[in-house]
Amino acid sequence: MLKLLRTTNLRLLQYCPVLPSRATRVSGNSAKFLTHRSFFTGTRLWQADGKKPLSRIPVGGTPIKSHEKVRDGSIEFSTGKAIALFLAVGGALSYFFNREKRRLETQKEAEANRGYGKPSLGGPFHLEDMNGNEFTEKNLLGKFSILYFGFSNCPDICPDELDKLGVWLNTLSSRYGISLQPLFITCDPARDSPAVLKEYLSDFHPSILGLTGTFDEVKNACKKYRVYFSTPPNVKPGQDYLVDHSIFFYLMDPEGQFVDALGRNYDEKTGVEKIVEHVKGYVPAEQRAKQKEAWYSFLFK
């Protein structure tokens, strides 16, 4: 009987890899206790009495190679990657929706400025450029244009605004690949002939084109764009005087329609940002008409 119990205990130890201390009660006449102790070294379970080492391989299992390591931080590592992915996707979606929101707002602003039916600003005009060529509202088609009304004898405001315009044009071209048609329309045709404008504008950005005409032609153009200007009455030839006028840049889209006015509150940075918003948010007239009839037309109201 004792021999049978020992054999049974040895088999139990073979099937149980973790047995730090095992006491076996021997029943019968002997009434003795047999204690089997075991410990781990490497990949095998050794018995305390120095007998043959017990295998750690469970029944039906596969051996664990010594060079394989269990990554305790696998859960934490996966969680960290998930959080990083969530933040990246969330940030991208937030940027996309904010950008689209600004684009829609810019489109609605430009559409409101264009007016419904008769344009609120802009319209037919007839002037002459500083090279002696005819210039009308048709020359505004096919490209974004920016108009400024002033005069060559302006002591400070006009030069400052034209310098700012030059910075805008350079930044738009170099950083965003955007090209505008810049126009300087005089409010003082009596003194600003084509030759005078050409010499005056040579001190500023080379792409700025000067426009002039007769008093009535200039007055009509100013009226179309709601530009206020005033010259002193009874001015004698050769007499020096100043012209009071509005100080705005008028941004026109490729259809020759007014989209926004940029005042002196726009500096070298914010002016560029505003122009970029309108250029990137521009939608041709045909596409705008389709948007108004689409099911999502409420987004543009």
Residue ranges at the known binding site: 154, 158, 245
CA end-to-end span of the chain, whole Å? 97
Question: How many Å separate Cα 278 from the centre of its chain?
Answer: 14
CA atoms within 13 A on the CB side of 138: 3
Report the largest interatomic distance among the alpha carbons of the chain, rounded to a whole angstrom: 144
Residue ranges at the known binding site for Cu cation: 154, 158, 245
* Dist. CA 161–CA 158, nearest whole Å: 5
Closest CA to 216 of 121, 118, 125: 125
